[in-house]
Amino acid sequence: MKSNEATVTEVAGKHKKKKYGSTHWLLTLMALPGILIIFIFKYLPMGGLILAFKNYKYSLGILGSEWVGMKNFMFLFNSSTFSILVRNTVLYNLAFIVLNIVAGIMAALFLDNVMSKRGIKLFQTSMFLPYFLSWIVVSYISLSLLDYDKGIINQILGVFGQNSISFYSETKWWPAILIFFNTWKNLGFNALIYYGTIISIDSELYEAATIDGCGYFRRVKYITIPHLKPTVIILGLLALSGIFRSDFGLFYYLPADSGALYDVTDVLDTYITRSILNTSSLGQSTATGLVQSIVGLLLILTVNSVVRKYESESALF
Amino acid sequence: MKRKRIFSAALAAAMLLSFTGCGVKKNTNEKVKLTWYIPAVLDSGDFDEIMSKVNEKLGREYNLNLEMIGIDGGNFDKKLQLINAGGEEYDLAFTSTWKNDYYANVNSGACLDISELLPKYAPKLYSQTSQTIWDAVKVDGKIYAAPNWQIQAKATGLTIPDEDLEAASMTIDEINTLEDLGTYLEKLHAVYPERNKVLPAWEHVQRYYGYLDIIGQAMPGVINFKENGKLQVINQYETKDYEDYIKLRKSWVDKGYMFDKYLPEDIKSSTMEDKEVRERPFTLHVYSPGNEANILQSKGYPWSAKPISEAVLDAGGILAAMTHVSSTTKHPEEAVKMLEVINTDAEIFNLLVWGIEGKHYTKVSENKVEKIENAGYPGIAHFILGSQKNSFLLSTQDDDLWDQIEAFNDNALSSPILGFSADLDSIATEIANCKTVLKKRSEMLDLGLVDPDSEIAALRKELKEAGVDTIIAELQKQIDEWSK
Amino acid sequence: MNRGKQMIGVKIVSYSMLIIFSLLCIIPFLIIISASLSSEGELAKFGYFIMPRGITLSAYKMVLQNPRSLIGAYKVTIFTTAVGSVMSVIISAMLAYPLSRQDYKWRNYINFFVYFTMLFSGGAVPSYILIAQYMHLRNNIWVLIIPLLVNPWNVFLMRTYFAQVNKALIEAAAIDGAGELRIFFMVVVPVSITGMATVFLMIALAFWNDWYQCLMFMTNEKILTLQYFLARVMSNIDDMLKNSASISSGVDLSSMPSETTRMAMCVFAAGPMVFVFVFFQKYFVRGISVGSVKG
């Protein structure tokens, strides 16, 4: 792809070529502050990843501590619930990725049909409210809805003569509950991002399409969606690389750490946090983080190369 | 390749990082400044004033200067881990089995060996603490922390509101066993038919049956202290006692005494109960003399409390509150001296615990005080700092409370494995597995919400799969070696 | 006309869906606010409700008991949010723009350089050693800002916005003799203002909500961010309760913040940002006209 650009530039003539030559340095200079901050605060500490292979003793320092090979990794792999943890982590993440995209785009499209500025403001602000809340607060909200004797849902069920549901000990409800709250919390934020893209689309395109006799759905299909594609791909790719990680707060606070629900609520991050608390090993948590990173890296390299093939402009790198 | 270069740069940087900086030791006659981390929130506007009074006395009498740094309890572990792992210089920190884990810290080299310094620089503290207790604190024969004197022996306790006892027309003296408790519940139920919410309590009840934890509350692997001298490690979840207890709990639920649904908010808020709302007829917990006064203070109505098991002195109770000297300290002698001061100088101790007289509390007698409501200094819990004996008492507490506690500690049975600390390295995975299984199954069983027969069987089976036998065998091996 | 009818249908669906979405989001907020205004007893007796029961301000009085510290925390957070967001949006945009240029030679390397940090991180301890031991930034207010200045996520989002800028505009400006900096500030930024405002808001939110950086590097209780300040009061007592089995002596339960106090804290924590958001909304709406004129 780069070679294509290069030939174009070369063809464009000497004047331009010379200009572009100096441009690279200027562009690099622009990027430099950001690059430096990333290097210092993100790359320098990465040396600490060797802790994953060590039995870290404070008094011996990072390098002085004893090498233990893959022992810290075996702690995770030998877990009797490892397969359940992986299943939960991956499936929830896939559901979140898809639903965040779909719900975000739908809300953005709906917003785009609202003509009054005040209306847009009102809807956008209210949908954004959950994004301000921490998971601890959200867990209070979910409790107020799901509680056995005081919860709003069970109060409503009672009105219709139905039996109350003991949500915090029945596993079957939790996949839906967790997915709902995750989508709910991120809806306003995702809608905002897609809406930002939609309103920057040249309105002449729509006008021209309308004159050509295109209905609303055709305009969405042929103009809006293609314009959203780069954003969707970027957000999707970024989210995919975290497929082995999860939002600790969501999985820990919402189910109130109820043991009876572990089969459907326990993910790698909650398991590790719980396990390491008493055995207190930096090596084990570093090793887990490393596994999560490597899985993300492998996945992203694969998907990115596919994207580069078909949508080179949207590829991450 | 560029990427490779980045990696090697990062690695080189990491190498640089691992050399801990070593400052030049200053040799002046200035007061030695000590830094002490405790789990507390100290942002009260009046704290500076309190500290200046503390430092005035410290400087005058002991040539010391103290900086207290409070970190909220929820984040204390995390922050201390960073500070320790970063090799940062500080002098003292709170340590225990439940917070800023003592064994983990000793094991990773965060604590200084103070066996030699203690008799020299903290002679009173050293002599007023019994040798049994020092032995319990030792790891491989060395002392790495000084225990804060408090209630160290533990017994399973029962606490019931007086009003409920009256309603059931019983006195607390009539309740000596869990079966008696059942009788009480039956009588109470006849008066107040609504179901009550009670917390899971197996971890406390274990002691009632004679079991002592080895590697943490309710974790598999216990010693039966009633079978004197027999150091056999047992999986308590395989015992008939466990079955009996679970079946008893279940029968209470079946008879309508207790709530039949899982209520996470009650689990979360644990012993906290609102002053205006009262549902819980009793709590099963760890007993402490003077409990009644504490609960009266926080809940506002009178309670009766009593132990229903023998009191046992074990490592868990002794290591529950200690202060260690950091291995990064530049002033080990002064740090140990500070331990002596906080454990013997009541004036300094009470300044920190209660604040300033007339401003934060009023004296009602020589050693009794009343807190002034909303006075701007919430205080530091005394067990976090040092010996409770130094502390004033609340006006609601018994005059001889400290003597009661002292007697309670002294009369307790000693755990047969006092001084043993397990090395968990080789069984970390099994422990994590069992922890998950227990969390998943035991809470529902303990609350009496599921069928005991099938669920206990399932729990036992899953514990086996999680490697419980490996844990038991390993602990047995280590204890056998230790007892030789 | 058929077309017109279709549009009306689409609008009805859009409005009703948005109303449902909004209600789903507003109601829980009302629950929190009403809980913060309810009396503790009523709340425990009847559970949560949209309207406050037994209205009282006692929860707010509890939180405001120590107003000096709260005001201090607000000051710190307002400073980090204002200064941090402006610095961050500028530095991120300057990094994102070259990455959006297909003709930039080192684009792929730098992209990977940035992206890699989303996957791998050294963890808390090495960062702590670097910042506290070597840069001596502990208890320095800038530690709440500088390490957070560049978030790869935001960089990539901005990159996407910049990539959508019509290339003809850039080339035209280049032919007119404008330098890269001029092109960026005079052509690219104005056209992408909508997207940048979105990212700016996210950055501001991140600074506003930060407690982790504060947890890591602050031991001076006079420089705490608002979120950490509020969270730790709860965390401290929660923790004491959780461990009450280990420390049977001396936990004073009467200082436990009640459910209503917690809710009031939530209002203090999120409230101001909601106002800022409402203010910022102007730019999103205005973005429509800017975007469509310059397109």
C71-92 pLDDT, tens digit each: 888 999 999 999 999 999 999 9
Given a contact as 3+ CB pairs under 8 Å, which chains touch B?
A: A, C
* Residue (of A174, A152, A149) closest to A256 by Cα position: A174
pLDDT, one tens digit per residue, over B270-287 is 334 444 445 566 777 888
Residues A34, C262: C-beta atoms closer than 8 Å: no
Q: Which residues of B touch C232 (CB under 8 A)?
A: 41, 72, 74-75
Percentage of chain B lying above the pLDDT 70 cut = 89
- Residue B276, pLDDT score: 44
Tokens of C197: 């405002």
Q: Which residues of A touch C121 (CB under 8 A)?
A: 42, 45-46, 289, 293
pLDDT, one tens digit per residue, over B275-330 is 444 556 677 788 888 877 777 766 677 888 899 999 999 888 899 899 999 999 99
Closest Cβ opposite residue A48 in set B14, B87, B263 = B14
Tokens of A287: 């090793």
Residue A278 has pLDDT above 70, yes or no: no
Q: Which residues of B touch A275 (CB under 8 A)?
A: 428, 431-432, 435-436
Tokens of A216: 């609303």
Average pLDDT over residues A115-132: 86
Taking all residues of chain C, what is their mean pLDDT, rounded to a whole number?
82
* Residue (of A280, A251, A255) closest to A267 by Cα position: A251
In angstroms, the separation between the Cα of residue A200 and the nearest Cα of chain B is 37
Alpha carbons B43 and C221: distance in angstroms, whole number: 6
B19 residue type, one letter: F
Residues B75, C133: C-beta atoms closer than 8 Å: no
Q: Which residues of B touch A280 (CB under 8 A)?
A: 81, 101, 104
* Residue (of C34, C69, C66, C67) closest to C52 by Cα position: C34
In angstroms, the separation between the Cα of residue C63 and the nearest Cα of chain A is 17
Sort strands B393-394 and B211-213 into parallel, antiparallel or unpaired.
unpaired
CB interface of B with A, residues 77-136, below 8 Å:
81, 84-85, 87, 101, 104, 107-110
Percentage of chain C lying above the pLDDT 70 cut = 84
In angstroms, the separation between the Cα of residue B348 and the nearest Cα of chain C is 19
Residues A47, B10: C-beta atoms closer than 8 Å: yes
Query: Which phi and psi angles does B211 have, rounded to 5°?
Result: -100, 140
- Residue B29, pLDDT score: 60
Alpha carbons A145 and A158: distance in angstroms, whole number: 13
Residue whose pair of structure tokens reads 């005494």 in the numeric block: B257
Residue B257 has pLDDT above 80, yes or no: yes
A191 by Cβ neighbours in 10 Å (0-12 / 13-18 / 19+) ranks as: buried
* Residues B256/B193, Cβ–Cβ less than 8 Å: yes
Query: Does B381 contact chain C (CB < 8 Å)?
Result: yes
Confidence of residue C130 (pLDDT cuts 50, 70, 90): very high
Residues A262, B436: C-beta atoms closer than 8 Å: yes
Residue B373 has pLDDT above 80, yes or no: no
ipTM, two decimals, is: 0.85
- Residue A104, pLDDT score: 94
* Residues B46/B16, Cβ–Cβ less than 8 Å: no
Tokens of A259: 């043991």
Residue B308's CB: how many other CB atoms inside 10 A? 21
Inter-chain contacts counted by CB atoms under 8 A, chains B and C: 158
In angstroms, the separation between the Cα of residue C215 and the nearest Cα of chain A is 16
Residues A49, C122: C-beta atoms closer than 8 Å: yes
* The B303-307 sheet, strands edge to edge: B283-286, B156-161, B303-307
Report the residue of chain C nearest A281, measured CA to CA.
C125
Confidence of residue A12 (pLDDT cuts 50, 70, 90): very low
The domain defined by C60-294 folds into MetI-like fold (1.10.3720)
Looking at the DSSP bridge assignments, the partners of residue B361 are B357, B371
Average pLDDT over residues C118-126: 87
Looking at the DSSP bridge assignments, the partners of residue C217 are none
Residue C3 has pLDDT above 80, yes or no: no
SS3 B362: strand
Element at B284 (helix H, strand E): strand B283-286
Closest Cβ opposite residue C245 in set B20, B203, B274 = B203
Residue B79 makes CB contacts below 8 A (sequence gap 6+) with B37, B71, C215, C216, C219
In angstroms, the separation between the Cα of residue A131 and the nearest Cα of chain C is 9
Q: What's the alpha-carbon Rg for chain A, to the nearest Å?
A: 25
* Residues B275/B300, Cβ–Cβ less than 8 Å: yes
Residues C248, B286: C-beta atoms closer than 8 Å: yes
- Residue C238, pLDDT score: 66
Residues C253, B86: C-beta atoms closer than 8 Å: no
Q: Which residues of A touch C181 (CB under 8 A)?
A: 26, 30
* Residues B200/B267, Cβ–Cβ less than 8 Å: yes
Least confident of A3-12, B401-410, B456-465: A3-12
DSSP sequence for B82-112: HHHHTT----EEEEBSSSSBHHHHHHTT-B-
Looking at the DSSP bridge assignments, the partners of residue B147 are B322
Rounded to 10 degrees, what is the CA torsion of B43, B45, B46, B52? 80
pLDDT, one tens digit per residue, over A298-307 is 999 999 899 8
Query: Which phi and psi angles does B365 have, rounded to 5°?
Result: -155, -170
Residues C281, A293: C-beta atoms closer than 8 Å: no
Alpha carbons A82 and A78: distance in angstroms, whole number: 7
Average pLDDT over residues C137-157: 93
Alpha carbons C177 and C171: distance in angstroms, whole number: 10
Residue B54's CB: how many other CB atoms inside 10 A? 22
Residue whose pair of structure tokens reads 């280990």 in the numeric block: C246
Residue C294 has pLDDT above 60, yes or no: no
Q: What CATH number labels B30-151+317-407?
A: 3.40.190.10
Domains (ranges, CATH) in chain A? 1-50 (no CATH), 70-314 (1.10.3720.10)
Alpha carbons B425 and A71: distance in angstroms, whole number: 10
Query: Does B424 contact chain A (CB < 8 Å)?
Result: yes
Closest Cβ opposite residue C45 in set B97, B157, B277 = B277
**Which carries the bigger pLDDT value, residue A196 or residue C245?**
A196
Q: Which residues of C touch B150 (CB under 8 A)?
A: 249-250
Residue A150 has pLDDT above 80, yes or no: no
* Residues C234/C265, Cβ–Cβ less than 8 Å: yes
Rounded to 10 degrees, what is the CA torsion of B328, B334, B340, B345? -120
Average pLDDT over residues B24-29: 47
SS3 B414: strand
Instruction: Tell me the range of A6-20, B241-255, C94-108 where mean pLDDT is highest.
Output: B241-255
* Residues B237/B459, Cβ–Cβ less than 8 Å: yes
Confidence of residue C104 (pLDDT cuts 50, 70, 90): confident
Residues A58, B449: C-beta atoms closer than 8 Å: no
What is the distance of C-alpha B274 from the center of its chain? 24
Residue B158 has pLDDT above 60, yes or no: yes
* The B222-224 sheet, strands edge to edge: B211-213, B222-224, B233-234
- Residue B16, pLDDT score: 45
- Residue A2, pLDDT score: 40
Alpha carbons A209 and A212: distance in angstroms, whole number: 5
CB interface of A with B, residues 136-165, below 8 Å:
143, 147-149, 164
Residue B164 makes CB contacts below 8 A (sequence gap 6+) with B188, B192, B281, B282
Given a contact as 3+ CB pairs under 8 Å, which chains touch A?
A: B, C
Residues B465, A80: C-beta atoms closer than 8 Å: yes
Query: Does B274 contact chain C (CB < 8 Å)?
Result: yes
* Residue (of A119, A255, A137) closest to C33 by Cα position: A137
In angstroms, the separation between the Cα of residue A187 and the nearest Cα of chain B is 27
Residues A63, B327: C-beta atoms closer than 8 Å: no
Closest Cβ opposite residue C127 in set A45, A125, A199 = A45
What is the distance of C-alpha C153 from the center of its chain? 13
In angstroms, the separation between the Cα of residue C74 and the nearest Cα of chain A is 16
Query: Which phi and psi angles does B79 have, rounded to 5°?
Result: -70, -40
Residue whose pair of structure tokens reads 């030789």 in the numeric block: B484
Query: Does B22 contact chain C (CB < 8 Å)?
Result: no
Q: Which residues of B touch C233 (CB under 8 A)?
A: 41, 72
CB interface of B with A, residues 445-484, below 8 Å:
449, 465-467
Alpha carbons A83 and C260: distance in angstroms, whole number: 41
The pTM score is: 0.85
Residues A189, C104: C-beta atoms closer than 8 Å: no
pLDDT, one tens digit per residue, over C189-220 is 888 887 788 888 889 888 988 888 998 898 88
Residues C219, B79: C-beta atoms closer than 8 Å: yes
Residues A46, C122: C-beta atoms closer than 8 Å: yes
Percentage of chain A lying above the pLDDT 70 cut = 91
- Residue B270, pLDDT score: 37
- Fill in the DSSP letter of residue A114: -
* Residues C227/C273, Cβ–Cβ less than 8 Å: no
Residue whose pair of structure tokens reads 């280049």 in the numeric block: C174
Alpha carbons A79 and A75: distance in angstroms, whole number: 7
Tokens of A150: 């005081």
Residues A62, B261: C-beta atoms closer than 8 Å: no
* Residue (of B184, B185, B239, B180) closest to B209 by Cα position: B239
Query: Does A119 contact chain B (CB < 8 Å)?
Result: no
Residues C113, B21: C-beta atoms closer than 8 Å: no
Alpha carbons A124 and C26: distance in angstroms, whole number: 11
pLDDT, one tens digit per residue, over B35-69 is 999 998 887 778 899 999 999 999 999 999 999 99
Least confident of A4-8, A35-39, B152-156, C225-229: A4-8
In angstroms, the separation between the Cα of residue B204 and the nearest Cα of chain C is 8
Closest Cβ opposite residue C113 in set A30, A35, A45 = A35
Average pLDDT over residues B7-18: 47
Q: Which residues of A touch B449 (CB under 8 A)?
A: 169
Query: Does B263 contact chain C (CB < 8 Å)?
Result: no
First to last CA, chain C: 30
- Residue C295, pLDDT score: 29
Question: How is chain B split into domains, by residue range?
Answer: 30-151+317-407
pLDDT, one tens digit per residue, over A44-93 is 999 989 999 988 888 888 888 889 888 889 888 888 889 999 999 999 99
Residues of chain C with CATH 1.10.3720.10: 60-294
C98 residue type, one letter: P
Give, in order, the Cα–Cα distances in Å from B240 to each of A4, B177, B217.
Answer: 78, 17, 19
Residues C232, B41: C-beta atoms closer than 8 Å: yes
* Residue (of A114, A105, A265, A116) closest to A179 by Cα position: A265
Looking at the DSSP bridge assignments, the partners of residue B368 are B365, B393
- Fill in the DSSP letter of residue B31: P
Report the residue of chain A nearest B449, measured CA to CA.
A169
Average pLDDT over residues B79-101: 91
* Residues C36/C263, Cβ–Cβ less than 8 Å: yes
pLDDT, one tens digit per residue, over B381-409 is 888 999 988 899 888 888 888 899 999 99
Give, in order, the Cα–Cα distances in Å from B95 to each of A100, B319, B322, B397, C35.
Answer: 44, 8, 5, 27, 38
Closest Cβ opposite residue B108 in set A57, A64, A259 = A57
* Residue (of A247, A243, A232) closest to A104 by Cα position: A232
* Residues B122/B339, Cβ–Cβ less than 8 Å: yes
In angstroms, the separation between the Cα of residue A48 and the nearest Cα of chain B is 6
The number of residues making up chain A comes to: 317
